[in-house]
Structure 1
Amino acid sequence: MRFADGPTTECAVRVAAGVARVWELVTDIELPARFSPELQRVRWLDGADRPVLGARFEGHNHHAVLGDWRTVSHVVELDAPRAFGWVVVDPDNRFGEPLPDPEASIARWRFDLQPCDDGTTLLRHTVRIGPARSGLTLAIERRPADEEQLVATRLDSLRAGMRETLRGIKALAEQAG
């Protein structure tokens, strides 16, 4: 897969808890930083204290190869208790032209919750990379012949972090139940 294809990956887990409890956890924007190997901390911006359409939050990330960087995310989807989605932009021009427009995002993230007949919840976590510039595009520019491998490696890395986040959410949700 090439960057222009909008690389996407998804992970899912069945959680032995009701959808209301899982929703409470996935909409806590600070929670993923407890489990993610890349996301270090998060905070709401503009006086927001919970997800609402258009709300923004700041994330601080670290990657062994890319170093440290800051992002700003915009809540673009909120369908309680079914879907929570946000797009990530590069506010500091770390990867190229700063594009504060959510339509030109570095990535689009989403949680989907599906209640199951047995009282459990199927939780999916999805990311689509691009179309805006990111650390991945910098790597591709340095090694264009390796683009497909670089995309695959980045998706593998994101998937590993997503699995950790889902494991953490599952543990917390089931612990409370």
Structure 2
Amino acid sequence: MYSIEDRTVEVETRIGAAPARVWTLASDISVPPRFSGELLETGWLDGADGPRVGARFAGRNRNGYMGEWTTTSEVVEVDEPRTFAWDVLLPDGRRVAAWRFDLRAEDGGTVLRLSMRVGPDRSPVDDTYESDPEKGPRLVGKRLRMLEGGMRATVEGIRGLAEA
């Protein structure tokens, strides 16, 4: 599900595995590139080797509309086995996207939710949205739908690994 009004995307799946097993996969930054289609690779920065608040990691991305680019993200919340969250930063320090995995135990398994919200700081999505009153909202909607597809593939990929 995506919402252009509040600039969010959220996907969820039920996994037949314990939260601890799902947490191991959701908090491993090397897992999403296996499934997303746009995120090609990730790597911890500055000597970090796992999820902890303040740790940073790089991501290399590519898609047919935007080309290839690299991001830097900073972990902002780690609550094992419930939450792993990070913000995407621009070189000037602006936080342009907030991403998070949320897990909850349910009926002997786990519900895994992956969400993304544009912001809180001004981002290239804001520039696109405002650049053309007719095309901007349509382009942003298309971008959010693209993200939703990659996010859905990621949570389903994690489900497959966790249930294997």
Q: What's the TM-score, normalizing by structure 2?
A: 0.91
Indicate which of 159, 163, 176 corresponds to 2:152.
163
Deviation of the 1:133 alpha carbon: 2.1
2:33 and 2:96 map into 1 onto residues whose CA distance is: 19
Residues 1:129 and 2:118 aligned together: yes
> Could you list the per-position Cα deviations for residues 31-68 of structure 1 after superposition, in whole angstroms to 9, with x for gaps in the alignment?
10010111010000010100000000000110111111
Match for residue 77 of structure 2? 77
2:68 and 2:122 map into 1 onto residues whose CA distance is: 18
Deviation of the 1:138 alpha carbon: 4.9
Tell me which amino acid in the other structure corresponds to 1:163. R
1:141 and 1:64 map into 2 onto residues whose CA distance is: 22
Q: What's the TM-score, normalizing by structure 1?
A: 0.85
1:39 and 1:142 map into 2 onto residues whose CA distance is: 26
Greater fraction strand: 2
Residues 1:12 and 2:12 aligned together: yes
Q: Kindly indicate whether the alpha-carbon contact (under 8 Å) linking 2:128 and 2:140 is maintained by their aligned counterparts in 1.
A: no
What is the correspondence of 1:37-116 to structure 2 with a 5 Å cutoff? 37-91=37-91, 99-100=92-93, 104-116=94-106
Deviation of the 1:153 alpha carbon: 1.0
1:43 and 1:6 map into 2 onto residues whose CA distance is: 30
In the TM superposition, structure 1's runs of 4+ consecutive aligned residues that sit over 4 Å from their partners are none
Question: What secondary structure does 2:98 align onto?
Answer: strand
Deviation of the 1:6 alpha carbon: 4.3
Question: What secondary structure does 2:160 align onto?
Answer: helix
Count how many residue pairs are aligned between Structure 1 and Structure 2.
Answer: 161
Deviation of the 1:30 alpha carbon: 1.0
Question: What secondary structure does 1:106 align onto?
Answer: strand
Task: Give percent identity, aligned residues only.
Answer: 45
Tell me which amino acid in the other structure corresponds to 1:109. W
Deviation of the 1:137 alpha carbon: 4.1
> Could you list the per-position Cα deviations for residues 60-119 of structure 1 after superposition, in whole angstroms to 9, with x for gaps in the alignment?
11011111111100000111110110000123xxxxxxx22xxx3121000000001x21
1:9 and 1:141 map into 2 onto residues whose CA distance is: 19
Deviation of the 1:147 alpha carbon: 2.2
Match for residue 162 of structure 2? 173
Residues 1:143 and 2:132 aligned together: yes
